[in-house]
Each structure stands twice: as structure tokens, then as C-alpha cells.
Amino acid sequence: MDDMVQLDELSEKEAGLSAPEREGARKILRALAAGGREMAGLLASGPLKGLTGASGVVNVQGEEVQTFDEIAQEVFTRTLRETGAVRCLVSEERETPEIQNGGSGLFHVAMDPLDGSSNLAISGPVGSIFCVFRPSAGEPADPSAAVLLSVPSPVFSAYVLYSVSTLLVVSFGREVRQFALDPARGEFLPLPGTVRFPGDGGQIVSLNAGNASRWREGDQSYLRSLSGVPYSARYVGALVMDFHRNLLKGGIYLYPGDMPKGGSGGHPEGKLRLLYEAIPMAIIARAAGGEAVDGTRPILDVSPVHIHQRVPLVVGSRSLVEDYLRISASPS
Ligand code: AFP
């Protein structure tokens, strides 16, 4: 029944894939499900095992690595390597791509193995984000350059949300499907139908208002404009959760660039990472009838120059993103 597509059947529905690509995509989806299941179990017992704190390491982004960041890195690196389908694996937690299977795999993968990890200490929601790219013909030997060249050819993106339930959300670009982990069976089972932003666009706005005084004028103008419209402010501080809520309920998520104050802090280029946060969410948003922009242009039109590139991100219901573009372009 089309309403209940199993995880294993998803890639079969994609006409644009060759038979080996369909098989490779199926294996990668299984690897994400296996890693997601393992992480859900580990996260649930994290506080009892004293695993919810910092590891003492600072990552390539200059951020404090949580113990679970490293655990998630190891779990998904292993499950992905076992597929034999991954050529280069880019991760938020590693400065350079890992070459898997001697570089013979069919796809490049970019991942944020554990997003929103500052929520771990309070047992709040966290997620894992993935994007799978098709290598370009005649790619360069340098793994980072090879991955960057493949970015205009995404195959599918997915995230795992670890919250009250554990969900796997996947899009090959045409539609968005959800799967929920059945803890008793240890399997991700399909939820009926496809997911789309509600037709009326919704009323939820998710942003870190604490940064607003350091935003550009256009972004501040958008925030001011909200005082004239009915909206609900909701912000968890974990992209996967904030995005997922807005996808189901209708809303917009913003993380614009913010300027340093007093010579320190700030994310002038935005905080989120293009390859493994913004692009995967942009693919899912578009497939669900929404849009994602970097403040002026679609995220999917941004040409990456670095595998860990940051980008401002505004993503959600199409009508709300269009409102944002109009208002922020003519600040008042
Ligand atoms: P952490 O993984 O360091 O918690 O960052 C999470 C994140 O990248 C994204 O998931 C959140 O939406 C955003 O940062 C929250 O950032 P602020 O805490 O600066 O609002």
C-alpha cells in the first residue's frame, strides 16, 4: 500500500537512480536506522551512565565536544562503513573527510552525528542529520574537493529525532516520509502518508531572540514585523526538533548571522553548517512544500567552498519564508 512505504522500499520508488544506486541508498538508509536505534538506546541510559557531559575536547568548529558527540560519531561511522556504499564521509566532528572502503563506495555522505548536544544535560531533544551526494564524474583526488563537487547532486537527506519517540525522516526530494522506532521490535516502522507543511503556513517562529541585537538590520526588521501578526514563539535550540515541529505544525526557523559584541563571540556567517545542517533540511523543506534560504537566496543555490562552511539559515513554510525575504530586503 503506497500510504505505508517501508524503509527498505523507499529507494525503489526513485526512478532517477540506477539499480546499484538504489541498492546503495537502501543500505545507507538501513545504516541510519541501525545507528539511530543504537543511539536511541544509548541516549536513554545516558544520565545513568554519566555520559551526558563534555568530553574535554574542542572540535574543528571550536565547540566543546560532548561525550555523546563522539559516541554518535563512532556509531554512525561504523554503520555507514559496513554498507560498503560510502566513499567519503564528512562529519561535523572531523576536520577532514574519512575515506571509506578504499574510496570505492557509490556515494559521499555528510553528517552531523549529534545535533543540539547542549540539550543532553537537560534530557532535551537531540538529532542526527545526514545528506547523501552522488560523486561527480572525473572527481579530484582530494577528498574535500571531491565532496564539494558532489554537493549540487544530492540523492537523499534524512534526520533522526531523539525525543519522546525516535523518528527517522527521509526525503529523496519528491516527498517526505516518516518512520517511528518501535522499541519492542527494534525497527523503524512507517507512519502513514507523506509529510507536508500545513497549507496555511502556520504561525510558529523559532529563533534565538537573545542574539537579535547583533543581527543585521533586515533580520531585526523581520523580528519587529512580528509584533503586528499573530504568532507563537517556540525554540528548543536543537535544529532537528525545531525544524520537525515547524514541519508538522507550520512555522519558520531562523538562525541569521550575528555580529561579535565587544570583539568576541558572534557568527557573522551564521552558526549552522551548510553541508550537514542547512542543505539536508532544505531538501526536506522543499519536498514538503516549504523553502530554505540563506537570507537572500535559496540554500540549494549556495555553492560550497568549504566542507565545514557555515551559513545563515531561514527555513520553513514557503509563505513564511517569502514574508521573511520581503520584509528583510526592505528594512523599516
Ligand atoms: P549544539 O549542537 O552545539 O547544541 O548546536 C545546536 C545548533 O547547531 C542547532 O541545532 C540549534 O538550532 C542551534 O545550534 C542553537 O544555537 P543557539 O544555542 O546559539 O541558539
Domains and their CATH numbers in the chain: 7-190 (3.30.540.10), 204-329 (3.40.190.80)
Residue nearest to atom 6 of ligand 1 (CA): 116
272 Cβ inside 6 Å of ligand 1: yes
- CB distance 237 to ligand 1 below 6 Å: yes
Q: Evaluate: CB of 61 within 6 angstroms of ligand 1.
A: no
Q: Which residue stretches of the chain have pLDDT < 50?
A: 1
Whether ligand 1 lies within 6 angstroms of the CB of 225 is answered as no
Provide φ and ψ at 15, rounded to 5°: -65, -30
Determine if the pTM surpasses 0.85: yes
CA 204 to chain centre: 19
Instruction: Determine the pLDDT at residue 181.
Output: 98
Report the pLDDT value the prediction gives residue 2, as an integer from 0 to 100.
64
d(CA 39, CA 71) in angstroms, rounded, equals: 8
Residue 173 CA to residue 280 CA, distance in Å, equals 10
Per DSSP, what are the bridge partners of residue 314? 254, 293
How far, in Å, CA of 114 to CA of 274, rounded?
A: 16
**Which candidate, 329, 330, 324, places its Cα nearest to that of 223?**
324
Is the CB–ligand 1 distance for residue 77 below 6 Å? no
CA of 239 to the centre of ligand 1 (A): 7
